């Protein structure tokens, strides 16, 4: 089955917020994006300055500690097998009916779960469709509280993973294995991995040649045909050993 993708990370200062908005709104070059495809701004301004102003408006009247997290950014997607089951490795391609069904399930959920979002963008110009959401972490008590909403402990993120899988379960998308030992990957690093091209296939291994049997008496007599054939055989054997070792090194590097 396909897996749900849910990631969240801190936007600690105005530089982080502006940088994320610039990326999401394509206000700066994005080498891995296809300019022929148009993204969809579902909520919020279409300028970086507008997003920053929207965050400031959300923070207005709140107590903001010196080390407070001003905002956060989430990525929501599904594994490529859902969007393009016939060709998962074909980046930038999807089945329109799959995309439409996924949007119909996810967008009401995003609206409910991110009431303080200032920017929601559906990216369609990269490897796999995904939402990027900039929100101000305001809790039910009206306080700025990133830790309580997203960063208190591992169980908090596990709960988000579980919740994000519920609206798309009927589409055959499930959450990842709960309790996995996999380590958290920072959002920028995760995003780079998500959009990286598929790696080249590993070089095929070469089986080392079997050891040669000891040379016979006639093969040890210099100048004979048997000795010449034995010498050629030993040379080919040595070349095959070198080739197998070289290929093993190539696979190790790959």
**What are the pLDDT digits (tens) for 17-31?**
999 999 999 998 888
Cα four-point dihedral sign 220, 222, 223, 228: positive
The model's pLDDT over 46-101, given as tens digits with 9 standing for 90+, comes to 999 999 999 999 999 899 988 899 999 999 999 999 999 999 989 899 999 999 99
- Full-model pTM: 0.71
Strands (E), the chain: 2-11, 40-43, 71-78, 117-123, 130-135, 173-174
- Predicted confidence at residue 156, as pLDDT, reads 85
* Tokens coding 137: 């972490």
Phi and psi for 91 in degrees, rounded to 5? -65, 145
């Amino acid at each position: 089955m396909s897996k749900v993708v849910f990631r969240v990370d801190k936007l600690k200062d105005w530089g982080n917020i502006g940088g994320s908005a610039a990326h999401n709104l394509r206000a700066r070059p994005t080498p891995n994006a296809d300019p022929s495809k148009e993204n969809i701004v579902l909520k919020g301004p279409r300028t970086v300055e507008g997003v920053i102003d929207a965050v400031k408006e959300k923070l207005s009247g709140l107590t903001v500690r010196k080390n407070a997290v001003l905002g956060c950014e989430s990525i929501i997607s599904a594994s490529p097998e859902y969007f393009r089951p016939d060709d998962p490795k074909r980046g930038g391609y999807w089945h329109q009916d799959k995309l439409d069904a996924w949007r119909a399930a996810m967008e009401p959920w995003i609206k409910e779960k991110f009431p303080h979002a200032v920017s929601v963008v559906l990216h369609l110009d990269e490897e796999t469709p995904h939402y990027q959401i900039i929100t101000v972490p305001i809790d039910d008590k009206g306080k700025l509280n990133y830790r309580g909403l997203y960063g208190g402990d591992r169980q908090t993120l596990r709960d988000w993973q579980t919740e994000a899988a519920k609206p798309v379960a009927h589409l055959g998308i499930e959450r990842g294995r709960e309790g996995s030992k996999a380590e958290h990957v920072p959002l920028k690093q995760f995003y780079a991995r998500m959009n990286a091209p598929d790696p080249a296939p590993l070089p095929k291994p070469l089986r080392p040649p079997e050891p040669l049997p000891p040379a016979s008496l006639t093969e040890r007599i210099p100048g004979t045909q048997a000795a010449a054939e034995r010498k050629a055989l030993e040379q080919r054997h040595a070349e095959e050993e070198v080739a197998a070792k070289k290929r093993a090194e190539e696979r190790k590097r790959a």
